[in-house]
Chain A
Amino acid sequence: MKVGFEHYLILSALLFALGLTGVLVRRNLLVIYMSLELMLNAANLSLVAASHFSPGHSLDGQVFVFFIITVAAAEVAVGLALIVALYRRRQTAHVEDLTTMKL
């Protein structure tokens, strides 16, 4: 079986769906964070695949992915720092305990 563009896309969609489900159903902030990264990488995968299967083998999509990885790394640094700070203050990392935004 030849692996084509659509297989990559299906895999990417599955990963994205897994990530989204994780974000919606998991209670621990850290796990939610990991799921978020999963969604991000699902997007990366589709970008790389698109780059590979594009008519002139353009490298634009791959360059784009490097940027996303860099920015995601910075974002993880900030996000984890926030989670740590939150945990120190509240002694919890569970989202159902963090409802001070409620009206």
Chain B
Amino acid sequence: MNGLLHSQNLPWLVLFLPLLAAGLITLFTRRDRNLSAGLSIGAVVAGFIFTVVFLATSGWTPKTTESTFVWLSIGDLQIDFGLRFDPLSILMMLMVTGVASLIHIYSWGYMRDDAGFSRFFACLSLFTFSMLGIVLSTNFVQLFIFWELVGVSSYLLIGFWFERTAAADAGKKAFITNRLGDFGFLLGILLVWKNLNSLHFGMLQRIVTENPQALGALTTAAGLLIFCGAMGKSAQFPLHVWLPDAMEGPTPVSALIHAATMVAAGVYMLCRVFFLLNLPASNALLVIACIGGFTALLSALIAVQQNDIKRILAYSTLSQLGYMVMGVGLGGPEQSMFHLTTHAFFKALLFLGAGSVILALHHEQDIWKMGALRKKMPVTFWTFLVGTLALAGFWPLSGFFSKDSILATALEHSHPMVKYGFFALGALVAILTAFYMFRLVFVVFLGAEKSDGPGHAHESAPVILWPLRVLAVFSIIGGFIGIEYIYHRQFTSPEEAHALTFAQQLIHPFTAAPIAALGGLIAAVLGLAVAYALYAKADKDPLPEKLGALSRGMRNRFYFDEIYQATVIRIHEFLATLADWFERWIIEGFCVGLVRGGTEITGKMLRQVQSGNLQVYAFLFALGVAFVLYLALK
């Protein structure tokens, strides 16, 4: 192959095909629904195929690790636009295009009757493009641009049904909350640039490897500021509030945001710049681990008492993201990326399954109006069950392996408090995860019909079911097909060549870290057992009576929105009023007014001179001459 299709150019195609599709749809094919959908799906599927071809020709560690051109050059600052090829970016590229392909195909079925069908696909393509841009970036500036593009496209998609106030508000909330985090991120980037004089990831890594003290006293600050970005995108406490509201978007969007794009971007970015975070002088990792752990626990608790099928999944995503961030904080980027990958499979599966249920019940999302859907929707049920088992961490499904590897990372930590504290936290979250997921399954698919809706439900169309089946397969096998090994090559040693066979990988957790593996399994079984006892035959939720105030707190998301409303937003509005007053009276009234009034008065005075009378002019002229003569002859 040569020319345009030279394997090195394939990733460029992968990156820009979705943008091309988005542009074509917006400009030309909006009226033709099927052509628009075809373009969008074609672009992302072609991207997936090209990625596979690229992988087949170049392998996981290509000889040329970058393909760049200079994009901007100001003084000694040079910013490249380029693509970076290493195991991390290639695997992410594969995952993003793969999962996005399935979600695109699914959307064709799910959005069939929507008036904004073409617009939806244009936004979806833009979203995929932005995410691929983040994954392939070679430097901070490029990453930041695509980072913001993801923010914009998520705004477009969350607020897709903008005629509904809730959806429009959710879009704004997501965008603004993300901007808050991005502000810190930008400061972090500037700090790194000022101190290390480079924005290129490879260069930065070389600098801090040679001189770990390069950032001096600002090491921790830089790490935490960069983490701010991830806090927004990956919805970590205290910026987690936007993610559940993002459920106002169409279900495929939720799947895309929660699985392959957006929230994954934060964790991916942390792993990409992990070398800046784990410097010896930095305490950033511990803070990151604490925030991640807290988010995981908090949102798992909230998920227990939610009744909206999509919101349960949203809080579950938050909780799993907390897990990943905790993993990064504990010094295990490869384990976090592993969990990110498997999570992408089963969370996409769960969301698409939930979408299938919602569609069958004519947009009913309250789980207490479902029930007994197992017989009516067998494919959805079985795939959803696979997703649940994977998320809860049952061996040998993918979630078990990735969750176990994070727990094992916690146990490898040197500090005993950190070690057992985070392990206990992880196990507790695992129990809660299994509990709320099986609560969902029992209430939605088993038990009695809780309203008239389920009686009329029937299985969805094949275009919706096939993505579910494919994702289910990957949710099952994702744990032992060597994904962790690929990340291992990225973060530990590039040429360590003892790949395990499938069978070895299957039992690897039990031999390598038996405590973590057994702990995780026991936690999952415990959660399942409690959920079975409480919900297998329940007609309404028994927990509010048993837990009282705690349950109310969980149901109301621990009042975070209300707290923010009363504090942050109140303060913001006060400041805005103040600024408005200042603008109106001091700037507009005094400063501008003075200049304007002064000019006007002077103008009026000077106007009198211009009387139009010839003799007045002549007189002034004579006066002027006399004055000049006086000066000259004095």
- List residues of chain B with CB within 8 A of the CB of A100: 612
Docked complex Cα distance between A23 and B625 (Å):
15
* Pair A103/B610 contact, Cβ less than 8 Å: yes
B607:A103 contact, CB within 8 angstroms: yes
Partner of B615, one of A24, A101, A102, A103: A24
For residue B451, CB closer than 8 A to chain A, the reply is no
Query: Does A85 sit at the interface, judged by CB under 8 A?
Result: no
Partner of B614, one of A20, A25, A95, A103: A95
How many A residues are at the interface, by size bracket? 10 to 19
Residues 559 to 616 of chain B near chain A (Cβ within 8 Å): 607, 610-615
**Which DSSP category, helix, strand, loop or mixed, fits chain B's interface?**
helix
CB <8 Å contact, A95 and B613: yes
Is A98 in the interface zone, CB < 8 Å from B? yes
Q: How far is the CA of A95 from the CA of B615 in the complex (A)?
A: 8
- Complex: how many Å from CA A4 to CA B382? 131
Scoring A residues 37 to 59 as 1 if CB is less than 8 Å from chain B, else 0, what string do you get? Answer: 00000000000000000000000
List chain B residues, Cβ under 8 A from A25: 615
Query: Residues 74-96 of chain A: 1 if any B CB is under 8 Å from the residue's CB, otherwise 0?
Result: 00000000000000000000011
A70 within 8 A of B: no
- Choose among B612, B618, B619 the residue that contacts A99 (Cβ–Cβ < 8 A): B612
How far apart are A43's CB and chain B's nearest CB, in angstroms? 13
- A101 with B618: CB separation less than 8 A: no
| CB proximity of B222 to chain A, nearest CB, Å | 63
Q: Which of A20, A24, A102 is in CB contact (< 8 Å) with B612?
A: A102
How distant is the Cα of A103 from the Cα of B619 in the complex, in angstroms? 18
- Min Cβ gap B125→A in Å is 62
Among residues of B, the one whose C-beta sits closest to the C-beta of A29 is: B614
Q: How far is the CB of A79 from chain B (nearest CB, A)?
A: 13
- Contact between chains at A24 and B622 (CB < 8 Å): yes
Closest to A26 in B: B615
Cβ contact of A102, chosen from B610, B618, B619, B622, cutoff 8 A: B610
B607 in contact with A24 (CB, 8 Å) = no
Residues from 7 to 39 in A contacting B, C-beta threshold 8 Å:
20, 23-25
Q: Which residue of B lies closest to A20 (CB)?
A: B622
Residues of B within 8 A of A23 (CB): 615, 618
- Distance in angstroms between the alpha carbons of A85 and B633 in the assembled complex: 42
Asked if residues A99 and B622 are in contact (CB atoms below 8 Å), the reply is no
Q: Are A101 and B619 closer than 8 Å at their CB atoms? A: no
Expressed in whole angstroms, the minimum distance between the Cβ of B458 and any Cβ of chain A is: 84
Q: Is the CB of A101 within 8 A of B622?
A: no
A residues within 8 A CB of B613? 95-96, 99, 102
Contact with B along A52-70 (1 / 0, CB 8 A): 0000000000000000000
Complex CA distance for A25 and B615, rounded to whole angstroms: 8
Q: Is there an interface contact between A24 and B618, defined as CB atoms closer than 8 Å?
A: yes
Contact (Cβ within 8 A) A102 B611 = yes
Question: A residues within 8 A CB of B622?
Answer: 20, 24
CA distance in complex: A20, B611 (Å): 20
* Residues of chain B contacted by A24 (CB below 8 angstroms): 615, 618-619, 622
Alpha-carbon distance A103/B610, docked complex (angstroms): 6
Q: Roughly how many angstroms separate A25 CA and B612 CA in the complex, as a whole number?
A: 16
A98 to B619 Cα, complex, angstroms: 16
Q: Which residues of B contact A103 (CB under 8 A)?
A: 607, 610, 612
A-chain residues with CB within 8 Å of residue B618 when the two chains form the complex:
23-24
Complex Cα distance, B610 from A20, in Å, reads 21
Chain A residue at minimum C-beta to C-beta distance from B608: A103
**Docked pose: A25 CA to B614 CA in angstroms:** 11
- A23–B616 alpha-carbon span in the complex (Å): 10
How many Å from the CB of A28 to the closest CB on chain B?
Answer: 11
Q: Which residues of A contact B614 (CB under 8 A)?
A: 95, 98
Residues of A within 8 Å of B612, CB to CB, are: 98-103
A24 and B626 CA atoms in complex are apart in Å by: 15
Residues of B within 8 A of A99 (CB): 611-613
Provide the residues of chain B in CB contact with A20, threshold 8 Å: 622
- For A96, the closest partner residue in chain B by CB is B613
Residues of A with C-beta under 8 A to B611: 99, 102
Bound complex: CA A100 to CA B613 (Å): 9
What is the CA–CA distance of A101 and B607 in the complex, to the nearest angstrom?
12
Please give, as numbers and ranges, the residues of chain A lying within 8 Å of B610 by CB-CB distance.
101-103
Closest to B609 in A: A103
Closest CB of chain B to A55's CB: distance in Å? 23
User: From residue B297, how far is it (CB to closest CB) to chain A in Å?
Assistant: 78
**A95 — which chain B residues lie within 8 A by C-beta?**
613-615
Which chain B residues border A98 with CB–CB below 8 Å? Answer: 612, 614
Bound Cα distance A23, B403 (Å): 104
- Could you list 6 A-B pairs, sorted by A, with CB under 8 Å? A23-B615, A24-B622, A25-B615, A98-B614, A99-B612, A102-B612
Known contacts A24-B619, A103-B612; 5 additional CB pairs below 8 A are: A96-B613, A99-B612, A99-B613, A100-B612, A102-B610
8 smallest CB-CB distances across A and B, nearest first, come from A102-B612, A99-B612, A101-B612, A103-B610, A95-B614, A103-B607, A24-B619, A23-B618
